[in-house]
A and B are shown apart, each in its own frame.
Chain A
Amino acid sequence: MKSKILALLGSTLLTGTAMAGGYQVNLASQRQIGMGHTGTGLNTGTSSIFFNPGAMAQARNGITIGASAIVSKIAYQAPESNSTVMADNPTGTPFQVYGVYGITDKLKAGLGVYTPFGSTVNWGDEWTGRFGLNELSLKAIFIQPTLSYQITDKLGIGAGFVYSTGGVNLQRSIPLENEGGEGKAELDGDASGFGYNVGIFFQPTAKLSLGLNYRSQVDMEVEDGTAEFDVPASVRARFPESTSFGAELPLPSTLTLGIGFNPSEKLTLAVDISRVGWSAYEKLRFDYGAPVNGSNFTENARNYDDAYIYRIGGEYKVTDALALRAGAYYDETPVQDGYLTPETPDADSRGLSAGIGYSINENISLDASFLYINKKERTDPSNLSGGIGGTYKSIAYIPGLAINYNF
């Protein structure tokens, strides 16, 4: 049953439109989304595999399956113009599956499959910036086997190995036209990479818990992608119909410090501060197997900056079965002025979330979440990244559901 669902998720669902800073997608647990996606300083159950493997040793045996639907809207307006273009993004569906099983009382094994990065943006082939981008789909599914050990009552540690698999598809128009229309380029390739996720969880008192988590950078490498070029016949000699390409995209590291506070039995409060190592993303380079318009590669500067995310969230247990949640966060953009691109028209973003948890019985519970993301309107000349200058504004509505089964 489980493998069937997994197969279904991998084949039919895309990972989300990038709705955190850059192309990060912070939607790892429906319960935690409801709490502003805090959780590093809490025992979050099975999802500790993601938030803090150090806390996983305290999780009950169980399985969690959840998914979100990202309805994102991005508007673009050219400089000194009043006509607005909207990207027609497909609904993104990041998902998460976690399973935890206790080998002993103190040692637990877990497996997580989740989608912490991705981007699907579709501007179409008619907008002003089509020679920069028509459509980009970036997918990454992390598979993370994890072990966690409870050293003392107060202290747990955990580590997971990350194998990432995914792919990239990029389409853009080429500014060479014949009577049939403009040229097109499409790059498509599978990518994979490796990394790790480690954490420490410390609970000095019943009311206070602390967590420190480090998710490493994962370099996604495309080794033998396919690049296809459709151009007018008279310039065909400059563009191969099909050639191979290679590229590397860093999925940045995230270091998070989290604090959990339980002022009463019913109330849990949490704060997380993350530093995301975006400075690893310096450039986007494609190396081609055959010369394309006279060059074996294309390269555009990205020069992202490291960025911080500040999160706050809370959960209130109305009854034993029903929990209400709310949270908020502020996510700094890693994109410097002059470097904005239509792939990730990023800006400082504000997230507001709410959620409900309901236990049907001892073993089965449901979590529903809703997250609203509002990125600041941003005007950028995009003169340093080869991007498309103008004003961008993004918002997203992200409902999600999860089912937990504990045993």
Chain B
Amino acid sequence: MKNFIHKSGALALFAGVLTLTSCDPEIDNFQPSTGAELDLTKYVAVGNSLTAGFGDNGLYREGQLNSYPAILAQQFALVGGGEFVQPLFTQEQANGSGYLKLTGFTPTGSPITTPVTTNLARRSPNSPLLTKFTDPINNLGVPGIKVADIKTQGYGSTQGNPYFERITPDANAFQTYLQRVQQSDDHTFFSLWLGNNDVLSYATSGGASAAAANQITPTATFQANYTELLDALTENDQEGILATIPDVAGVPFFTTVGPVVKQSLTAAGAAGMVAITGAGKTRTQFATAQINVPVTGVLFTLTGSTYAPLLGAPTGKYWRDLARSVASDPSNPLIVRGTLAQLLVNYEIDTTKAFGFSAGNPWPSALLLDQTEQAAVKTATNEFNTIIKNLATAKGLALFDANAFFTNIQTGFSLNGVGYSPAFISGNLFSLDGVHPTPRGYAIIANEMIKAVNNTYGAKIPKVDETQYRAVVFP
């Protein structure tokens, strides 16, 4: 009897162990759902380079696959969202437009980037045009497009924007971007993040360009075009999300070089600098203390990193480089020399003077966003964002306030054991062009958008694991 009890007891214990070990702990405090109103069957994304997945100064397959609309669609699919087609470059042409790769650091720690020039999707070697993709697509992101461009006839022609040309059917070559968006009448959800380039192309060119494409869009034009585009997207009362425009002063493109210059000027005891302002030859002076100060100060562009070490030297390197890039025949030394001479006369440059410190050899306008220019950008950004926010409220749409988000993270934050900040390369958020996010940055943006959609529509769309997306790749 004793024996029997003992044996059966042990057996019961053993059986108990077997049964119990197959029971895993369960966490079910988040039940994914779209809520009552949201229909994610067909999502279309409208926007610019950010929407296309642009990064590292190029559009290429990896960036496309990790675009925020692709990430959103992947998460939408967990709650019944439908298929999401992007105009992907093929594996063979995976490097698309080409892009920048980090290939090392200088002895002083400055990054060295190298363009990727293989496996491109160029239709011919020196053409900006890209291999066509004319199947129906859900991601209508077009790098470089402004709100000001959406009604421009021929914007998708071979003389227009090569990224829009790429997705524009030959049969309809003069279709405007607005018309392309209006074609979509069966989408159930949309995202619209447009307007960045309406200030950014002015800012990244340092306010130095007289070209129409590099001017800030008039607010009235912005209001009219944006409203018309949004009306097209909400024609059948579709739900969607809008996003605001971040401040240019918050991206590494404008915040990386300034501190270096400021430090070297302070070390040298230099009180300030001389630069050209605007598109002409007018000189402006600013104090060392004004460098890298948002709104009221001056910002140096990332494109100035090559020339910053030459401050104080008698150099004409910038103008020689410019002459080479604008000369009608860059391969003809005579023509390049002629162009250079013309530039020096036009801008009244004496390359024997101290670069950046003398009215005779000022810091170039294209490499600087001075006070006046920065104020103009800030004013326009605020006006555009007011329009976007008002429309979101009026139409009951979700809003990702990218401006507020990027302003809030200026001092950095930590997420899942990783530090993030707007710092170039080390901040993990921005890619090698200093303007566009890394795939990790796009994933974090997608999560912010999911948060906004969930809040507005009472949905429970799961967030994505941002750590599964890469930041900067080091050599």
Contact = CB atoms under 8 A, between A and B. Distances in A.
Q: Do A and B bind?
A: yes
Interface stretch (B155-163, B390-398, B410-418): B410-418
Interface in A63-95: 71, 73-84, 86
A397 B20 contact: yes
Nearest to A321: B2
A234 B474 contact: yes
A81 B32 CA distance: 8
A391 B27 contact: yes
Interface stretch (B119-127, B271-279, B461-469): B461-469
B108 interface: no
A359 to B, nearest CB: 10
Tell me whether chain A's interface is mostly helix, strand or loop, or mixed.
strand
A386 B414 CA distance: 8
A379 interface: yes
Contacts, number: 119
A175 B475 contact: no
B224 interface: no
B213 interface: no
B451 interface: yes
Interface string B282-303: 0000000000000000000000
Contact of B21 (A235, A394, A397): A397
Contact of A83 (B428, B451, B462, B474): B462
Interface string A320-339: 01100000000000000000
A235 B417 contact: no
B438 to A, nearest CB: 11
B31 A82 contact: yes
B262 interface: no
Interface string B445-475: 0000011001000001011110100110111
Contacts of B419: 175
Interface stretch (A127-135, A217-225, A275-283): A127-135
Contact of A232 (B9, B464, B474): B474
A77 B465 CA distance: 10
B10 interface: yes
Contacts of A356: 6, 9-10, 13
A5 interface: no
**Most chain B CB neighbours (cut-off 10 Å) among A73, A131, A392:** A131
Given A130-B467, A131-B418, A370 B17 contact: yes
Interface string A131-170: 1100000000000000000000000000000000000000
Contact of B417 (A131, A179, A232, A379): A131
Given A71-B21, A83-B465, A370-B17, A132 B474 contact: no
**Most chain B CB neighbours (cut-off 10 Å) among A81, A179, A318, A321:** A81
Interface string B7-43: 0011001001100110111110111100000000000
A60 to B, nearest CB: 22
Contacts of A74: 25
Given A175-B428, A386-B417, A391 B463 contact: no
Interface residues of B, number: 43
Contacts of A71: 17, 21
Contacts of B417: 129-132, 172, 175, 386, 388
A259 interface: no
Given A128-B416, A128-B465, A82 B30 contact: yes
Interface residues of A, number: 51
B104 interface: yes
B471 A175 contact: yes
A175 B474 contact: no
Contacts of A129: 416-417
A175 B474 CA distance: 11
Interface string A246-259: 00000000000000
Nearest to B447: A80
Contacts of A177: 470-471, 473-474
A78 B75 CA distance: 14
B78 interface: yes
Contacts of B471: 175, 177
A81 B465 contact: yes
A131 B20 contact: no
A75 B25 contact: yes
A372 interface: yes
Contacts of B102: 234
B5 interface: yes
Closest 6 CB pairs of A and B: A131-B417, A232-B474, A132-B417, A393-B25, A75-B25, A77-B27
Interface of A: 71, 73-84, 86, 128-132, 172, 175-179, 232-235, 318-319, 321-322, 354, 356, 358, 368, 370, 372, 377, 379, 386, 388-389, 391-395, 397, 399
8 contacts: A78-B463, A177-B473, A234-B102, A234-B475, A322-B2, A370-B13, A386-B414, A393-B27
